[in-house]
Amino acid sequence: MPPPPSTGIEAVLFDFGGVILTSPFDAFAAYETEVGLPPGTVRRINSTNPDDNAWARFERRQVDAGEFGRLFEAEAAAQGHIVDAARIMEGLHGTLRPTMVEALRRCADRLRIGMLTNNITPIGSQPFSDDVLEVVGLFDELIQSSVEGCRKPEPRIYEIACERLGVEPAACVFLDDLGVNLKPARAMGMTTIKVVDPEEAIAELEAVVGFPLG
């Protein structure tokens, strides 16, 4: 293994959907277009009472899929929309971003690597393809809301990530596609990178870790 960088960074935390995989928001937008919902409807439902709504409870595994569907559809109805919760759940599985996977591989050669993700069921029980599961195998630690019983942006899940990786927050950089999930990490002392354009995010990460990622 090459020597570690001299930047003080010892670990990288990656979100999964929206960072390593394409964003589920793309699938939500396609569903909204297909059924004639106003753009951003799913995200607006999810941002209403975000700490205790159906989505939050599902990601902590406080409700099963059937109860989630009933709750989510009721929340949508309260906002004047009819949605199919099962169809929305189908959109959670994205496709790999090859350049981000290569950056992940190069980080894994020199640093501790963790996945920090909100999900509705553990990755091992989801129908991912072999190539996605191969990428999952690159991580030293998987920190999943459906396993831990807490979720981003709750501070405890970031503490768990650092504990599992054996690093202090100041020695960790975290990539996520949602600013609300980055704010607690930054407050703890982590370096944070918001992933809007993957190539720009990789360039930022390269500057932080101090070695080439592409």
| C-alpha–C-alpha distance, residues 34 and 55, integer Å | 22
Q: Are residues 71 and 148 in the same domain?
A: no
Domain end among 47, 64, 90: 90
Our measurement of the distance from residue 176's CA atom to the centroid of its chain's CA atoms, rounded to an integer in Å, reads: 6
Expressed as residue numbers, the domain containing 162 is 11-23+94-209
Q: Are residues 133 and 154 in the same domain?
A: yes
Q: Are residues 86 and 98 in the same domain?
A: no
Domain end among 55, 72, 90: 90
In a domain? residue 167 = yes
In a domain? residue 2 = no
Q: Into how many domains does the chain fold?
A: 2
Q: Are residues 150 and 78 in the same domain?
A: no
In a domain? residue 3 = no
Consecutive 10-residue averages of pLDDT for the chain (214 residues): 70 97 90 96 94 94 94 97 92 89 98 96 86 95 96 98 98 97 98 97 97 95
* Torsion angle of C-alpha atoms 165, 172, 2, 209, degrees rounded to 10: 160
* pTM (global) more than 0.75: yes
CATH of residue 28: 1.10.150
Q: Are residues 62 and 168 in the same domain?
A: no
Our measurement of the distance from residue 170's CA atom to the centroid of its chain's CA atoms, rounded to an integer in Å, reads: 20
In a domain? residue 6 = no
| C-alpha–C-alpha distance, residues 150 and 158, integer Å | 10
| C-alpha–C-alpha distance, residues 142 and 145, integer Å | 10
| C-alpha–C-alpha distance, residues 68 and 86, integer Å | 9
| C-alpha–C-alpha distance, residues 146 and 125, integer Å | 11
Give the count of beta carbons closer than 10 Å to the beta carbon of residue 121. Answer: 17
pLDDT at 94: 82
Q: Are residues 84 and 121 in the same domain?
A: no
pLDDT at 125: 84
Contacts from 161-166 at CB under 8 Å and sequence distance 24+? 161/13, 161/114, 161/116, 162/11, 162/188, 164/114, 165/10, 165/11, 165/13, 165/112, 165/114, 165/140, 165/141, 166/112
In a domain? residue 214 = no
pLDDT at 144: 97
| C-alpha–C-alpha distance, residues 172 and 187, integer Å | 12
pLDDT tens digit string along 91-143? 777 899 999 999 999 999 999 999 999 998 899 888 788 999 999 999 999 99
Q: Are residues 184 and 109 in the same domain?
A: yes
CATH of residue 129: 3.40.50.1000
Domain end among 38, 68, 90: 90
Which residue carries 């929309």 as its tokens? 81
